[in-house]
């Protein structure tokens, strides 16, 4: 291979002026870290109509995890339900008495965050 063919196939690095122009075109840096809420990556959007009382009441009246389902945290709600079933069977209900109030408080606080305009992760607790 001739030297002129080799140099034609390798692009030249951008000049400093080109790098500055590309940086300015990208806009100012964001304050959010790259792992912050992005609708394309999942997460639950804020909802001004989210009711903390309804979320907690569903956990009290229905099953453990129903408040999480109400909040849009489907996988977390199902996991809490399965865990509570396992804990009832494994410890005659003693451990389930611990998870039940925690699920109620979690559902209340997550619904409060959504009502106040905060984005909530799909596995976020309290």
* pLDDT tens-place string over residues 7-34: 556 677 777 777 777 666 655 555 544 4
Between residues 114 and 37, the one the model is more confident about: 114
Asked if 76 contacts 122 with a C-beta cutoff of 8 angstroms, the reply is yes
Distance CA 67, CA 54 (A): 8
Instruction: Give the whole-number percent of the chain exceeding pLDDT 70.
Output: 75
* pLDDT tens-place string over residues 47-62: 889 999 999 999 999 8
Tell me how many degrees the CA angle 120-122-126 measures, rounded to the nearest 5.
60
What pLDDT was estimated at residue 45? 82
């Amino acid at each position: 291979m001739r030297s002129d063919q080799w140099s034609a196939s390798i692009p030249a690095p951008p000049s400093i002026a080109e790098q500055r122009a590309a940086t300015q075109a990208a806009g100012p840096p964001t304050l959010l870290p790259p792992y912050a809420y992005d609708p394309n990556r999942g997460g639950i959007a804020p909802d001004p109509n989210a009711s903390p009382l309804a979320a907690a009441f569903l956990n009290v009246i229905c099953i453990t995890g129903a408040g999480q389902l109400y909040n849009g945290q489907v996988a977390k709600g199902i996991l809490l339900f399965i865990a509570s079933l396992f804990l009832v069977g494994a410890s005659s209900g003693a451990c389930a008495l611990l998870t039940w109030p925690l699920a109620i408080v979690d559902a209340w606080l997550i619904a409060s965050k959504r009502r106040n305009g905060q984005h909530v992760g799909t596995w976020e607790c309290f």
